[in-house]
């Protein structure tokens, strides 16, 4: 008998029917076939499948926010350096020693660590600490279920916006569609009940090999992390090529309400009263040259002959350090200069590319006739202990505020690209893979400050690599009575290319004296913790070995200890 033929009315029942018929002793076959699915049943099944896909997408976005938060912390870390904190870069003091993380074995200050309670009895065990980066990694693995899969499940990174905020409307719309599709298949739901979407269980996806794959979209970025890559967050784990930071903000529209049947309720579905808003006139947007924009407000007071310049904010500045951020401040000067220099500066806003200054500076002694011929020059610098790199500049004529206060948005222009002025030194770096050493060539110096009574100096350079297991220190020859010395001397430091990202090259220029201590002329520090031109020079040496990288660098009056 052919049971596969559709014309045969006898079909094999399923296991449940077989067990039931065995108990009832009614036979082993049924003379009635299953009726086909109706259109309403097909729509209900499609709605359930669509709802499951929406739930998976919401869960992937939730895990993506956790990953984005961790990635933001990793990129904002200063990187491991001797006697400095891994996260904030604070240097260890005498009475405030650094703590060592029990997981990554990196040092961190007391503000960036938490106490890690051991599983064993703490009577005979030492205090264990865990840095905030390892703690956040552990939380991400726990909340995303990665501890079960031994790897991070599928996720979708949130979209990066110009304001650094994520759009809640897209997530609210997806949850609303998921709720509507689920309500189509349910006939016993209450019409006034709040909408809730249940989080999917990870045990349901354990047997699915395709569940680890990311949900792809044109604007989403997918990463695959393993347990080893997550836990080992050394300097190599910091992102060197991504310049824009992911600013993580906790999504206020979602509230975790669950225990066993955890759910996500949407607060934004509640009706809110419209708040009265006042329109703030913004200055017209002008195209910038890629160096960002600056908003200022000019006001002239005729009674006191003073010019009030309010530096409001800057947007889209270039990143200067390894994390893609900068520490900007503004230097303002009225040109052309009069009998005395009118040069003022704002405060420094740390670790941002979109600083909010909101600071008012006053220039006194500005007459009405000066408004027609003079201009205001604003230069943005990146604040650094070992030098200030120019980030952009703008010039505005003072006649803009002659009649009434003016609020302007200025496009910043970059530096001309010329070599730095003042005391400077020409340095060449090359990592030789054949010698397995960093080759440093001290080429020449220029415009060194005079220290002797004859108007000259007797300069020489000391240099060392820190940290260096060999503790090698070198120095050049002395160039007598010379402010523009030429050395062209080569020095070698044995090191590995992987260690260069954790080391700094320190140079100090001295004036040779007899019978008294040598006079300090300037210093220069190159390393992964440097900024601007110095950082680019150091990273080019690491990325492109066996090539000679030559660049001028300004000397600072800060003596590196």
**Nearest C-alpha neighbor of 391 from the set 471, 288, 478:** 288
* Same structural domain, 118 and 238: yes
Give the separation between CA 463 and CA 181, rounded to whole angstroms. Answer: 69
Q: What is the pLDDT of residues 124-167, one digit of tens each?
A: 445 688 888 888 888 888 888 888 877 888 888 888 654 344 44
Q: Which range is least confidently modeled, 44-53, 371-380, 552-561?
A: 552-561
Q: What is the pLDDT of residue 11?
A: 61
- Token digits of residue 541: 């040496």
Give the separation between CA 65 and CA 54, rounded to whole angstroms. Answer: 17
Q: Give the mean pLDDT of 225-233.
A: 41
Q: Is 148 helix (H, G, I), strand (E, B) or coil?
A: helix
* Domain total in the chain: 4
In degrees, rounded to 5, the angle at the alpha carbon of residue 401 between the alpha carbons of residues 396 and 402 is 120
Q: What is the pLDDT of residue 113?
A: 86
Strand partners, 409: 295
Q: What is the pLDDT of residue 169?
A: 46
What pLDDT band is residue 331 in, cutting at 50, 70 and 90?
Answer: very high
Give the separation between CA 375 and CA 370, rounded to whole angstroms. Answer: 9
- Look at the block and give the residue holding tokens 């792809």: 216
Query: Does some domain include residue 271?
Result: no
Quick check: 192 pLDDT over 80? no
**Bigger pLDDT: 6 or 400?**
400
What pLDDT band is residue 196 in, cutting at 50, 70 and 90?
Answer: very low
**Nearest C-alpha neighbor of 332 from the set 343, 321, 319, 317:** 343
Q: Are residues 73 and 131 in contact, defined by beta-carbon separation less than 8 angstroms?
A: no
Q: Which range is least confidently modeled, 173-187, 213-227, 291-305?
A: 213-227
Tell me what percent of the residues of the chain surpass a pLDDT of 90: 29
What order of strands is seen across the sheet that includes strand 196-198?
A: 196-198, 263-266, 254-256
**Bigger pLDDT: 501 or 360?**
360
Buried b or exposed e, range 28-39, using 16+ CB within 10 angstroms: eeeeeeeeeeee
Quick check: 190 pLDDT over 50? no
Q: What is the pLDDT of residues 91-135, one digit of tens each?
A: 776 666 788 888 888 888 888 888 876 554 444 445 688 888 888
The domain that holds 482 is classified in CATH as: 2.60.40.150
Give the separation between CA 51 and CA 466, rounded to whole angstroms. Answer: 58
* Same structural domain, 307 and 202: no
Q: What is the pLDDT of residue 419?
A: 59
* Same structural domain, 24 and 131: no
Give the separation between CA 74 and CA 54, rounded to whole angstroms. Answer: 30
Quick check: 84 pLDDT over 90? no
* Same structural domain, 92 and 212: yes
User: Domain range for residue 174?
Assistant: 48-186+195-250
Q: From 364, 384, 411, give the residue that closes a domain.
A: 411
* Same structural domain, 160 and 230: yes
Q: What is the pLDDT of residue 115?
A: 80
The average confidence (pLDDT) of the chain is 74
Q: What is the pLDDT of residue 441?
A: 95
Give the separation between CA 39 and CA 36, rounded to whole angstroms. Answer: 10
Q: Which run of H or of E encompasses 305? A: none
Q: Give the mean pLDDT of 274-300.
A: 62
Give the separation between CA 93 and CA 107, rounded to whole angstroms. Answer: 13
Strand partners, 332: 344, 378
- Token digits of residue 32: 């009635």
Query: Does some domain include residue 20?
Result: yes
Supply φ then ψ for residue 361, to 5 degrees.
-120, 140
* Same structural domain, 325 and 374: yes
What pLDDT band is residue 444 in, cutting at 50, 70 and 90?
Answer: very high
* Same structural domain, 235 and 323: no
Q: Give the mean pLDDT of 475-482.
A: 92
| Length of the chain measured in residues | 561
Q: What is the pLDDT of residues 395-434, one digit of tens each?
A: 999 988 888 888 999 999 876 445 567 889 999 999 999 9
* Same structural domain, 437 and 397: no
Residue 341's Cβ-side half-sphere holds a number of Cα atoms within 13 Å equal to: 7
Q: What is the pLDDT of residue 6?
A: 55
Residue 360 Cα distances to 81, 166, 283, 298, 471, angstroms: 38, 32, 18, 10, 49
* Same structural domain, 22 and 151: no
Q: What is the pLDDT of residue 129?
A: 84
Q: Could you tell me where the DSSP H helices lie in 6-89? A: 15-24, 39-76
What pLDDT band is residue 7 in, cutting at 50, 70 and 90?
Answer: low
Give the separation between CA 331 and CA 520, rounded to whole angstroms. Answer: 27
Give the separation between CA 453 and CA 456, rounded to whole angstroms. Answer: 7
Q: What is the pLDDT of residues 537-561, one digit of tens each?
A: 999 999 999 999 999 998 988 876 5
Q: Which range is least confidently modeled, 85-99, 139-153, 265-279, 346-360?
A: 265-279
Quick check: 25 pLDDT over 90? no
What angle do the packed helices 168-185 and 39-76 form, to 10 degrees?
150
Query: Does some domain include residue 262?
Result: no
Query: Does some domain include residue 272?
Result: no
Q: Give the mean pLDDT of 60-80.
A: 85
Give the separation between CA 216 and CA 150, rounded to whole angstroms. Answer: 22
Q: What is the pLDDT of residues 241-267, one digit of tens each?
A: 333 433 334 433 333 333 333 333 334
Q: What is the pLDDT of residue 12?
A: 66
Query: Does some domain include residue 276?
Result: no
Q: Report the range out of 10-19, 23-32, 498-507 with the highest average pLDDT.
A: 498-507
**Nearest C-alpha neighbor of 477 from the set 455, 493, 460:** 460
Query: Does some domain include residue 220?
Result: yes
Give the separation between CA 389 and CA 381, rounded to whole angstroms. Answer: 5
Buried b or exposed e, range 298-307, using 16+ CB within 10 angstroms: bbbeeeeeeb
Q: What is the pLDDT of residue 515?
A: 84
* Same structural domain, 150 and 106: yes
Strand partners, 446: 424
Q: Report the range out of 26-30, 112-116, 517-521 with the highest average pLDDT.
A: 517-521
Q: Give the mean pLDDT of 172-183.
A: 48
- Residue by residue, DSSP assigns 177-201 as HHHHHHHHH-SS--TTSPPEEEPPP
* Same structural domain, 438 and 407: no
Give the separation between CA 469 and CA 494, rounded to whole angstroms. Answer: 9
* Same structural domain, 461 and 370: no
Query: Does some domain include residue 417?
Result: no
Give the separation between CA 147 and CA 141, rounded to whole angstroms. Answer: 6
- Token digits of residue 548: 């000679």
The radius of gyration computed from the CA coordinates of the chain, to the nearest angstrom, equals 33
**Bigger pLDDT: 122 or 466?**
466
What pLDDT band is residue 71 in, cutting at 50, 70 and 90?
Answer: confident
Query: Does some domain include residue 288?
Result: no
Q: Give the mean pLDDT of 5-14.
A: 60
Residue 515's Cβ-side half-sphere holds a number of Cα atoms within 13 Å equal to: 0
Q: What is the pLDDT of residues 494-508, one digit of tens each?
A: 998 888 888 999 999
What pLDDT band is residue 181 in, cutting at 50, 70 and 90?
Answer: very low
């Amino acid at each position: 008998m052919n049971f596969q033929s559709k014309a045969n009315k006898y079909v094999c029942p399923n296991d449940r029917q077989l067990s039931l018929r065995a108990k009832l002793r009614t036979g082993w076959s049924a003379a009635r076939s299953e009726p086909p699915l109706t259109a309403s049943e097909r729509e209900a099944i499609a709605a359930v499948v669509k709802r499951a896909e929406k739930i998976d997408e919401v869960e992937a976005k939730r895990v993506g926010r956790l990953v984005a938060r961790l990635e933001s912390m990793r990129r904002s870390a200063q990187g491991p350096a001797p006697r400095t904190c891994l996260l904030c870069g604070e240097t260890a003091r005498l009475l405030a020693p650094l703590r060592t993380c029990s997981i990554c074995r990196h040092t961190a200050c007391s503000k960036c660590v938490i106490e890690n309670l051991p599983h064993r009895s703490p009577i005979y065990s030492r205090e264990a600490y865990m840095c905030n980066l390892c703690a956040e990694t552990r939380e991400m693995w726990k909340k995303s279920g990665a501890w079960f899969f031994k790897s991070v499940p599928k996720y979708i990174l949130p979209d990066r916006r110009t304001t650094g905020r994520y759009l809640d409307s897209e997530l609210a719309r997806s949850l609303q569609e998921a709720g509507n599709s689920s309500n189509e298949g349910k006939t016993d739901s209450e019409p006034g009940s709040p909408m809730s979407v249940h989080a999917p269980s990870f045990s349901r996806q354990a047997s699915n090999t395709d569940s680890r794959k990311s949900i792809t979209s044109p604007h989403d970025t997918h990463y695959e992390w393993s347990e080893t890559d997550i836990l080992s967050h050394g300097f190599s784990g910091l992102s060197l090529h991504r310049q824009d930071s992911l600013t993580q903000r906790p999504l206020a529209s979602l509230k975790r309400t669950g225990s066993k049947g955890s759910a996500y309720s949407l607060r934004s579905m509640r009706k809110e009263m419209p708040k009265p808003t006042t329109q703030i006139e913004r200055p017209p947007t002008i195209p910038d040259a890629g160096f960002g924009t600056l908003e200022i407000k000019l006001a002239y007071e005729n009674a006191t002959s003073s010019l009030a310049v309010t530096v409001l904010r800057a947007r889209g500045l270039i990143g200067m350090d390894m994390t893609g951020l900068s520490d900007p401040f503004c230097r303002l000067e009225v040109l052309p200069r009069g009998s005395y220099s009118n040069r003022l500066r704002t405060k420094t806003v740390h670790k941002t590319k979109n600083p909010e200054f909101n600071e008012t500076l006053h220039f006194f002694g500005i007459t009405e006739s000066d408004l027609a011929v003079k201009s205001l020059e604003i230069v943005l610098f990146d604040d650094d202990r070992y030098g200030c790199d120019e980030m952009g500049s703008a010039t505005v004529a003072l006649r803009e505020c002659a009649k009434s206060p003016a609020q302007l948005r200025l496009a910043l222009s970059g530096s001309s690209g010329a070599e730095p002025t003042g005391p400077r030194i020409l340095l060449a770096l090359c990592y030789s893979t054949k010698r397995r050493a960093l080759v440093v060539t001290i080429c020449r110096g220029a415009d060194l400050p005079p220290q002797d009574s004859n108007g000259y100096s007797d300069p020489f350079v000391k240099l060392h690599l820190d940290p260096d297991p060999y503790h090698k220190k070198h120095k050049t020859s002395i160039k007598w009575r010379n402010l523009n010395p030429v050395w062209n001397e080569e020095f070698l430091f044995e090191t590995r290319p992987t260690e260069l990202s954790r080391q700094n090259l320190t140079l100090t220029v001295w004036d040779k004296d007899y019978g008294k201590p040598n006079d300090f002329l300037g210093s220069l520090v190159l390393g992964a913790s440097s900024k601007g031109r110095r950082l680019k020079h150091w990273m080019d040496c690491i990325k492109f070995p066996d090539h000679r990288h030559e660049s001028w660098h300004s000397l600072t009056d800060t003596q590196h200890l």
